Structure 1
C-alpha cells in the first residue's frame, strides 16, 4: 500500500460518516448483531461460542447468519493457542465452512492475534486460504465500562477461484464500547470500518455498526 493510499484509509476511518471524493469506490452500510457465550473449561482452557446475524446488500451476498466455536488454551504467560470451526450461511443457501487456527499474545492492555482460516465455499474451484493479523488496545473507562480499538489486516494467500484479478487485501478498524450489565453479562456497541482495495484501482468501503451481547459461564 502506498503512503497516499494509507493516508486516505486513515482519513476515512476518522470521518467515516462523510462521503469522500478522493475515492472511486463502492460504499455501503451494514448491521451485524452478535450473541456470544464464553467460559472456562478448566484453569487454562477457554470455550467461546458466537452467533451473528449480518444485514448486507444483496450484491454483497445478502443477509448472512453465522455460528462459530473456538477453544483456546494458555501455552505460556501471555500466550494462548487455539482453533475452531464456523458455518456461514447467506440468503439463498450459499454456505461457507471455515476452520481456523490462531495464537494470541497479550501484554497488559495490548493483544496481538494471528489467525489462519481455511474457507470452503459452495461451488468454488478450491479452498480459500486467508491470513489475518489483528492488534487491539483495551482501556477501562470506569467501574462497569471499557473501550477498545483494534486494527486488522487480511490477506488471501489462496483465492477460492482461479482468478488472477481477485482482490487479495483488506483492512479493518473497529471501535467498541462495552458495559457490564451484570456479573456475567456484558452489552456492547461498536463501529467497524472495512476497506478493500480492488485490482482495478477502485476501493470498496463498508460501514458496519455492531451490537454485541456476551454471556459468561
Structure 2
C-alpha cells in the first residue's frame, strides 16, 4: 500500500509528465551548485551564489554556463529581498557564442503550509544585455515550489513550476509575452543541516515564434549549501 507521501509524489509526476513524448526536442543534463544565507548567524545581510553547467544534444555538449552572485537583506523570517548580476554564455553549434550580462532583483518568501509540506515562492526581475545588441530585455520569472518531507527519512518530495514572461521585444531576438516554463518533480536529500542534494526530472518548454516550440527533457542535479 502506498503512503500518503508516495501518492502525492506519484500524482505530481504524472501531472508534470509531457503528454506527447514524441514531441521532445532534446534530452539534457543540468547541473548546479548554489549557496546562500546570512553572513553572520541570524544576521539580516545575506549573500547568494549559483553556478550552472547545462549539457544539450543528448547531454553530450555544454550548451549554457551561468555564474550568478548577489546580496540580500532579510526583512523577516518569511521575506528576503535580493539583487545581483549574472554572466550567461550560450554556446551555438554554427555561430558565435551568445554572451549575456544580466542584472537581477528578486524576493524570496514563504507562502504557507499545504498537505504536510510547505510552499515557497521566488519572484525575479531581470534586465538582459546581449553583447552586440542595443536593446535591454526585461523579463520576470515566477517560481512556486512545494516540498514535503518523507516521514522518517532525510528525503523530501519536491514539485515546482517557474514561468518566464518577457515585457518587451528586442533587436537581438527576445519577444514580449510568455517565454518559457520549467516544471520539475524530484527528491531533495538533506545530507547535513547545511547541505542538500536535489535531483529529478524537468520539462522545459520554450516558445518559439518562427519555429516549433522546444520541449527539453532534463535530468536536473543540484548541490545546495545553506549558510
The verdict on a shared fold, with TM-score over 0.5 as the criterion, is yes
Within 2, Cα distance between the matches of 1:45 and 1:87?
23
Q: How big is the shift at 1:97?
A: 0.8
1:78 is matched with which residue? 78
Counterparts of residues 22-171 of structure 1 (less than 5 Å): 27-42=25-40, 43-57=43-57, 63-91=63-91, 93-108=97-112, 109-142=118-151, 143-161=153-171, 168-171=178-181
The answer on whether the counterparts of 2:182 and 2:202 sit within 8 Å (CA) in structure 1 is: yes
Within 2, Cα distance between the matches of 1:35 and 1:141?
24
Counterpart secondary structure, 1:124: coil
Within 2, Cα distance between the matches of 1:139 and 1:151?
15
In structure 1, runs of 5+ residues without a counterpart are 1-9
Within 1, Cα distance between the matches of 2:120 and 2:203?
19
Q: How big is the shift at 1:135?
A: 1.4
TM-score, scaled to structure 2? 0.75
1:16 to 18, 24, 27: 18
CA deviation vs aligned residue, 1:84-131 (integer Å, no higher than 9, x gap): 111112335431111101123313311222111011112223111111
Within 1, Cα distance between the matches of 2:124 and 2:21?
32
Q: How big is the shift at 1:33?
A: 0.7
Counterpart secondary structure, 2:21: coil
The answer on whether the counterparts of 2:17 and 2:203 sit within 8 Å (CA) in structure 1 is: no
1:206 to 206, 212, 216: 216
Counterpart secondary structure, 2:144: strand
Counterpart secondary structure, 2:25: strand
2:207 to 189, 197, 201: 197
Q: 1:167 to 1:39 in 2, by over 3 A?
A: closer
In structure 2, runs of 5+ residues without a counterpart are 1-11, 113-117
- Total equivalences in the alignment: 202
